[in-house]
């Protein structure tokens, strides 16, 4: 789907509200086909972002797993290494 939406569950430290909001924004942009809504659609666009962010936060907070939390720095390093191989 959106390459910019990152996995936010099971990280230490947990995902911030800003990260959840950014993922919701990317999702709404993808669904609407617009990065910036017209004035006429601005309220609906922002309402959707806030609603999706709230539901996403609820989902992330309620997920349970037996896996150890992932380390953000290690995951970022892995992603950077994959990118370097891909675009080398």
pTM (two decimals): 0.81
**pLDDT attached to residue 18:** 95
Looking at residue 27, its pLDDT comes to: 94
Q: What is the pLDDT of residues 2-59, one digit of tens each?
A: 566 788 899 888 999 999 999 999 999 999 999 999 999 999 999 999 999 999 999 9
**pLDDT the model gives residue 83:** 87
Q: What is the pLDDT of residue 3?
A: 65
Per-residue pLDDT, 24: 95
Is residue 48 domain-resident? yes
Q: Give the domain extent around 49.
A: 11-87
Of 13, 23, 16, give the one whose Cα is nearest residue 73: 13
Q: Are 37 and 43 within 8 A, CB to CB? A: no
pLDDT(63) > 90? yes
52 located within any domain: yes
Beta strands in the chain (DSSP E): 11-12, 70-71
Question: What is the token pair recorded at 33?
Answer: 């086909």
How many structural domains compose the chain? Answer: 1
């Amino acid at each position: 789907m959106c390459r910019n939406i990152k996995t936010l569950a099971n990280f230490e430290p947990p995902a911030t509200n800003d990260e959840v909001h950014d993922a919701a924004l990317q999702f709404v942009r993808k669904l609407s086909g617009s990065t910036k809504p017209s004035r006429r659609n601005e309220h609906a666009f922002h309402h959707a972002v806030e609603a999706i962010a709230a539901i996403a936060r609820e989902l992330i907070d309620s997920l349970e797993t037996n896996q150890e939390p992932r380390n953000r720095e290690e995951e970022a390093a892995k992603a950077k290494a994959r990118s370097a191989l891909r675009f080398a």
